[in-house]
Amino acid sequence: MTLASEVDLQQLFTREHHRIHLVGVAGSGMSGIAALLLELGHDVSGSDKVGSLETDRLQRLGLRFQAQHRAEDATEAELVIFSSAIRDDNPILVSACAAGKPLVRRAEALAAIMSGKRGIVIAGMHGKTTTSAMAAHVLREGGMHPSHYVGAEIPLLGSNAHWDPRGEYFVAEGDESDGTLRFFKPEHTLVLNIEEEHLDFYADLAAIETVFLQLLDQTSGAVFYCADDLHAGRICGSRDGSISFGFAPDADYRGTDIDLQDFASVFCVFRRGEKLGEAVLNVPGRHNVSNSLGVIALATELGIPFEKIVTSLRRFEHARRRFEIKYESDRFLLVDDYAHHPTEIRATLATAKSAGRNRVLTMFQPHRYSRTQALRREFGRAFDNADRILVTDIYPASEAPLPGISGQTIADEIVAHGHRAVSYQPRLERLHCDLGNMIAAGDLILSLGAGNIHEQLSILAADLVIAERLKEIVGEEGDVRLYEPLAKHTTLRVGGPAQFWVEPRNETAFAGLIRYCRRENLPLFVIGRGSNLLVRDGGIRGVVVHPCGGEFDRVEVAGNEITAGVGAKLKQVAYAGKAAELGGLEWMEGIPGAVGGGLRMNAGAMGAQTFEHIARIRYLDGEGNAHTKTPAELEIKYRHVPSLDHNYAVSAVFRGTSAAPEEIARRLDESQEKRRTTQPSAKSAGCIFKNPASGPAGKLVDELGLKNSRVGNARVSEVHGNFIVNEGGATAAEVLELIERIKQVARTQRGVELETEVQIVGEPA
């Protein structure tokens, strides 16, 4: 193996052209090196486990990319650069080493490329990416044509790294996480803050300081440091020619009169007591004002006029995932942030709080087991400004799990600190559902973490766009909820979430929903009281309409006709009949469903069924147009009304027959008594099976000896064989398995093919 130090890397990278291979090229740091090398004219190849948006972009610039690490793909390379996440046994490293090729670490390569220019390193534990992007932007706007390398994609700069042959300066974000800061020999260094971090790599704060001190010793020009940071001040303050910035009265570049607005800050800048003027920073947060003071100090010392700096700062836009607004409306604000250290979390939450919304709801994905373990107490105290916190499990980066350390560790610390509104959801993919279901108008929703939690916020943002449109359709009186658990809306008490739960209050709103779903190709499902429904554990995708309240709950009597909205309970129709001395409807007392479900199913009891008592119904068709039809104009079957498969009932007119009040009361009592004595009171979906031609399904199940048979918490009722009851916490999967078992036994022992009466909908978990 040739040690990289034996080769003049600066000459090789910046003045010659070579074939170079990068191992782990998809990472945000490595992709920046690849971009620089391509711009410097090298022939660049790279490998990684998977591609990324960055590798796609680089391929367009000439990178030859392989989504696996194979030695044969790098045989032509004269030199190999590797990321610190790559293990020693990587086949490309092993073979390059055997062939005696130079192996270069990412930071070494960066340092060598930077040494071809006048280097400016931005270092510190928090805010490096924002600050280095800001510095590159201000220098660029100042006409200095800087090259740059920052740790994230910066839309404003066009890319995360860029080599500009015209300029003298090179602004780089220095990564302290693995000790590689020591490779840099810059002209200037800007230190933002120093504290305990990356304790997977460093023994303690002293070890961190050693690396920073070496960087400072290797800095030929000025050291800029934040005067408000204890350790940065202590380490940098005594150095000759060091320049301080911050809010402290003795800072060389000092910010005062800070006015933190929603998404911007206005402040005054003084240089050694002399007022330079006012600045406006277009990214929120006091910590960013501090970072910008560092950039103002640097740019001023490099000779850029203050006015020019101020204009550039005003135009500065954030890096991705730094208080990035994913969705904004009068009702909601969704923000994503990369914060993963307690200090960063506190700063981001303070910014969120100052945005002036009602509540701040936060989802947090801890990053690395080692950090979670080392800073657990600090994490517990970092969330005071959040009204609700959902913690998910740890994003491991490249670490192996540590025993007893998980997202629960942080949730427990937050509770121990006295903040009760926290819960732990180990399944990341459920976060958007849990959080989406608790949002209310006025909330700011924040995703925090350096892993992949932002994807959950993106899903929520996309669904919120649709939810807001649905809300407009149903108006002020209607209700729209995201990811409503359907277990709350079914009598069996099982079922996953409805992607969009919508409660219209009148026919116009319902028609509007039908038209919108049709136009947007969104599935639409209507649910009444959920009494004959089995929703699978994955819930229902699309819009679930629950017509209730307003027009839909109305029950009116005129002559011998009772008009009821689909949201009214069948039981109410029976009692309205009683009040008006109209009989024949008493059996409805025993049906737990609403009018809508009764119509759709042609529900029945005591030998009667719904459509025998219907004069006419009103429904909306698939285009949202209303129709009124008599039963004779509809296709109606036992427990199924095909005419309502693709139409949506809104109301029905029942016809009663004049009867003596005592007679009605007697029949109601009879129905009640029958139900009480022959049906279970536990949670159920009513009869599970249609009665086959051979006789009642309940009797069959009973005879087959299947009563009380169970799967998990789903059990066949002891009272009635055609009921499956939920003993508490049963899942749809359990109920479905029990149904299958019953069907199987009926088939093999009696040759009877049982058909479910209960409607089974939704997706498996």
Contact with ligand EPU (CB under 6 A) among 199, 205, 606, 704: 606
Q: Is 558 helix (H, G, I), strand (E, B) or coil?
A: strand
- Would you say 215 or 603 has its CB closer to ligand EPU? 603
Is residue 686 close enough to count as binding ligand EPU by CB under 6 A?
yes
φ/ψ bin of 415: left (φ > 0), alpha (ψ from -120 to 50), beta (otherwise): alpha
- How far, in Å, CA of 280 to CA of 282, rounded? 6
Please report the DSSP string for 581-638 in residue order.
Answer: TEES-GGGGG--SBHHHHHHHT-EETTEEGGGGEEEEEEE-TTS-EEEE-GGGS--BT
| Window 712-741: residues binding ligand EPU (CB under 6 A) | 720-722
- Would you say 561 or 702 has its CB closer to ligand EPU? 702
- How far, in Å, CA of 79 to CA of 90, rounded? 15
Strands 648-655 and 614-620: antiparallel
- How far, in Å, CA of 281 to CA of 102, rounded? 44
- Residue 639 C-beta: closest distance to ligand EPU, Å: 7
- Residue 707 C-beta: closest distance to ligand EPU, Å: 6
Q: Which residue of this chain has its Cβ atom nearest to ligand EPU in the complex?
A: 686
Strands 253-260 and 243-246: parallel
Q: Which of 54, 108, 153, 173 is catalytic?
A: 173
Q: Which of 482, 483, 342, 357 is nearest to 417 (CA)?
A: 342
Contact with ligand EPU (CB under 6 A) among 417, 690, 710, 741: 690
Binding mask 537-576 for ligand EPU (x = CB under 6 A): ----------------------------------------
Is residue 407 close enough to count as binding ligand EPU by CB under 6 A?
no
To 10 degrees, the CA torsion angle through 67, 71, 73, 76? 150
- How far, in Å, CA of 390 to CA of 385, rounded? 14
- Residue 725 C-beta: closest distance to ligand EPU, Å: 12
- Would you say 131 or 679 has its CB closer to ligand EPU? 679
- Residue 488 C-beta: closest distance to ligand EPU, Å: 20
- How far, in Å, CA of 422 to CA of 389, rounded? 5
- Residue 694 C-beta: closest distance to ligand EPU, Å: 12
- Residue 605 C-beta: closest distance to ligand EPU, Å: 4
- Total residues contacting ligand EPU by CB under 6 A comes to 18
| Window 572-601: residues binding ligand EPU (CB under 6 A) | 590
Calculate the CA 231 to chain-centre distance: 36
Q: Which of 14, 101, 117, 129 is catalytic?
A: 129
Calculate the CA 275 to chain-centre distance: 45
Is 129 catalytic? The answer is yes
Is 128 catalytic? The answer is yes
Contact with ligand EPU (CB under 6 A) among 18, 666, 699, 710: 699
- Residue 696 C-beta: closest distance to ligand EPU, Å: 4
Is residue 4 close enough to count as binding ligand EPU by CB under 6 A?
no
- Would you say 167 or 597 has its CB closer to ligand EPU? 597
Exposure of 89 by Cβ count < 10 A (0-12 exposed, 13-18 middle, 19+ buried)? exposed
Using CA atoms, how far residue 587 sits from 444, 671, 677, in Å, is 50, 6, 15
Is residue 682 close enough to count as binding ligand EPU by CB under 6 A?
no
Contact with ligand EPU (CB under 6 A) among 260, 562, 687, 752: 687
**Helix count and strand count (H, E) for the chain:** 22, 41
Question: Could you list the residues that contact ligand EPU (CB under 6 A)?
Answer: 532, 590, 603, 605-606, 678, 686-687, 690-691, 696, 698-699, 702, 720-722, 757
Which residues are designated catalytic? 128-129, 173
